Amino acid sequence: MENLKINISKSGVAADVVKGYEKQALENLSALYNKTGKGNDFLGWVELPAQITDAQFADLEATAAAIRAKADYVVVVGIGGSYLGARAVIDGLNNSFDWLQTSRKNPVILYAGQNIGEDYTHELLEFLQDKSFAVVVISKSGTTTEPAIAFRLLKELVEKKYSKTEAKERIVAITDAKKGALRTLATQEGYKTFVIPDDVGGRFSVLTPVGLLPIAIAGHNIRQLVKGAVDMKGLTAPGVAFDQNPAAQYAAVRNELHKKGKAIEILVNYQPKLHFFTEWWKQLYGESEGKDNKGIFPAGVDFSTDLHSMGQWIQEGVRNIFETVVTVKSPNTKVVVPNDAADLDGLNFLAGKRVDEVNKMAELGTLVAHVDGNVPNIMVEIPQLNEYYLGQMIYFFEIACGMSGYILGVNPFDQPGVEAYKKNMFALLEKPGYEAETKAIKAKL
Ligand SMILES: O=P(O)(O)OC[C@H]1O[C@H](O)[C@H](O)[C@@H](O)[C@@H]1O
């Protein structure tokens, strides 16, 4: 059976330099397992995939089935870690034109609370007026402003369109076991709820109900997703030799590149379905490492699309970047370039070749060009885009992130910097309790 593989041979980091990270990387991996490092009260995700019980899967699947039976559209309300994991997996697995399919087996998944655009909000509410829909509201803290506003509006619509009683069948809340406004509200209203464990931070929560319920509602196999993660846990566990552990290798190489002045890591995909996987990865690494005036800036591009827009910069701009390419070995379907007798477009040299073969040559050609242009390359390959390998890739990047953050010397499990904008926003909105901040910020304007 094939697994996710990493190739660091084009990273420009010599084997003995990588080897130099062995002791540190493996000590950091042990610290994640033994909970002896920074942020050790947020390490529930390390063991989590292997601990999900059959009863928990069955509860998620039954709830998903009930929602699927009732609703043509399901709005997933959440932001950051309460949004990106579900969307990464759902977009990764869904048909690219999912929302246009007419003979449907699965509800269309829509998203809210991930922005405060008034037009977006209006258009969503307007669209849902005459549709059969349900809502999954997700917030670990239960107090995040963006999803709270969206949920207040959606709750009002559900109650008006259906009834307060029916709302209990059409709204599911995923939040902290005890704390937060959403927990209080869900208890009071009698909604079905799922718990986000205390020791799992938002950006590490995709394999909790936060990701699993929306993914199951969208019609995907959550047991396979989690199995992939469990197997990747085995392949990256403390007993595995350093040079056989793909996560340790990744953590080592990216830290070495950072040390050499590569300030930006670009996650590259050649499959548009992986766009939101990159968004999930950006939060995972950005919030985990960007602190104490340190950290690689995580960026993302979709190739070959962005080769025609960002390709120039990557090839010849400031040499402070490296690329991590996520490549999918085999596509799930087959399209062959046809022969054309007239050959007016001059493409007959491609006739008979699969589109993926062209994509792979674009990938290889780009790799060589970028490495020649002094952009180091790390390659992460999965055999296929399915639940199982997405599960492997999720756990791979999570465990590598923990190790990498420890190598960098930060606490990868907090995000104190995110509060600065919230404080200012509340001060500007004159939230009760923020009187002094309101005065202070107004003086700065
Ligand atoms: O799940 P929630 O508590 O609503 O948080 C949603 C997101 O917003 C916060 O501001 C954090 O920066 C993120 O780490 C978090 O994932």
Instruction: Encode the chain (445 residues) as per-residue pLDDT tens digits.
Output: 899 999 999 999 999 999 999 999 999 999 999 999 999 999 999 999 999 999 999 999 999 999 999 999 999 999 999 999 999 999 999 999 999 999 999 999 999 999 999 999 999 999 999 999 999 999 999 999 999 999 999 999 999 999 999 999 999 999 999 999 999 999 999 999 999 999 999 999 999 999 999 999 999 999 999 999 999 999 999 999 999 999 999 999 999 999 999 999 999 999 999 999 999 999 999 999 999 999 999 999 999 999 999 999 999 999 999 999 999 999 999 999 999 999 999 999 999 999 999 999 999 999 999 999 999 999 999 999 999 999 999 999 999 999 999 999 999 999 999 999 999 999 999 999 999 999 999 999 9
CB of 80 sitting under 6 A from ligand 1: yes
For the chain, helix, strand, coil in percent to 5 are 55, 15, 35
CATH ID of 42-225, from 3.40.50.300, 3.30.1490.20, 3.40.50.10490, 3.10.580.10: 3.40.50.10490
pLDDT at 1: 87
Q: How far is CA 368 from CA 262, 372, 432, in A?
A: 18, 6, 57
81 alpha carbon to ligand 1 midpoint, in Å?
6
* CB-count burial class (<10 Å; 0-12, 13-18, 19+) for 37: buried
Distance of CA 384 to the CA centre of its chain: 18
Asked if residues 60 and 216 have their Cβ atoms less than 8 Å apart, the reply is: yes
CB of 288 sitting under 6 A from ligand 1: no
Q: How far is CA 237 from CA 241, 323, 395, 396, 400, in A?
A: 9, 25, 11, 11, 11
**45, 138, 144, best to mutate for ligand 1 pocket (most atoms within 8 Å of CB):** 144
Protein residue with its CA nearest to atom 4 in ligand 1: 139
Report which DSSP code applies to 207. Answer: T
Q: Is 355 helix (H, G, I), strand (E, B) or coil?
A: helix
Q: Which of 146, 265, 279, 287 is catalytic?
A: 287
Phi/psi class of residue 113: alpha, beta or left (left: φ > 0; alpha: ψ in -120 to 50)? Answer: left
User: Minimal CA–CA distance to 405: which of 314, 295, 269?
Assistant: 295
pLDDT at 69: 97
Q: Is 137 helix (H, G, I), strand (E, B) or coil?
A: strand
| Phi and psi torsions of 59, nearest 5° | -65, -45
**Catalytic site includes residue 227:** no
Distance CA 77, CA 74 (A): 9
Angle at 295 between CA 292 and CA 301, to 5 degrees: 145
78 alpha carbon to ligand 1 midpoint, in Å?
8
CB of 287 sitting under 6 A from ligand 1: yes
CB of 300 sitting under 6 A from ligand 1: no
Query: Residue ranges per domain, the chain?
Result: 5-38+228-417, 42-225
Indicate if 42-225 has the same CATH topology as 5-38+228-417.
yes
Q: Which of 164, 178, 422, 442 is catalytic?
A: 422
Asked if residues 44 and 173 have their Cβ atoms less than 8 Å apart, the reply is: no
Tokens (6 digits) for 154? 């959606």
In the sheet with 297-302, reading across from the earlier edge strand, the strands are 5-7, 377-382, 321-328, 264-269, 297-302
CB of 139 sitting under 6 A from ligand 1: yes
**45, 79, 194, best to mutate for ligand 1 pocket (most atoms within 8 Å of CB):** 79
CB of 417 sitting under 6 A from ligand 1: no
Asked if residues 278 and 300 have their Cβ atoms less than 8 Å apart, the reply is: yes
Report which DSSP code applies to 176. Answer: -
CB of 144 sitting under 6 A from ligand 1: yes
Distance CA 358, CA 105 (A): 32
| Phi and psi torsions of 129, nearest 5° | -40, -55
Closest-lying ligand 1 atom to the alpha carbon of residue 203: 16
Closest-lying ligand 1 atom to the alpha carbon of residue 419: 10
pTM of the predicted structure, to 2 decimals:
0.98
CB of 324 sitting under 6 A from ligand 1: no
CB of 385 sitting under 6 A from ligand 1: no
CB of 82 sitting under 6 A from ligand 1: yes
Tokens (6 digits) for 56? 């928990």
**Catalytic site includes residue 70:** no
**45, 196, 418, 426, best to mutate for ligand 1 pocket (most atoms within 8 Å of CB):** 418
Contacts of 164 by beta carbon, 8 Å cutoff, 6+ apart: 189
Contacts of 34 by beta carbon, 8 Å cutoff, 6+ apart: none
**82, 196, 200, 414, best to mutate for ligand 1 pocket (most atoms within 8 Å of CB):** 82
Phi/psi class of residue 441: alpha, beta or left (left: φ > 0; alpha: ψ in -120 to 50)? Answer: alpha
CATH ID of 5-38+228-417, from 3.40.50.10490, 3.40.1050.10, 3.40.50.720, 1.10.4190.10: 3.40.50.10490
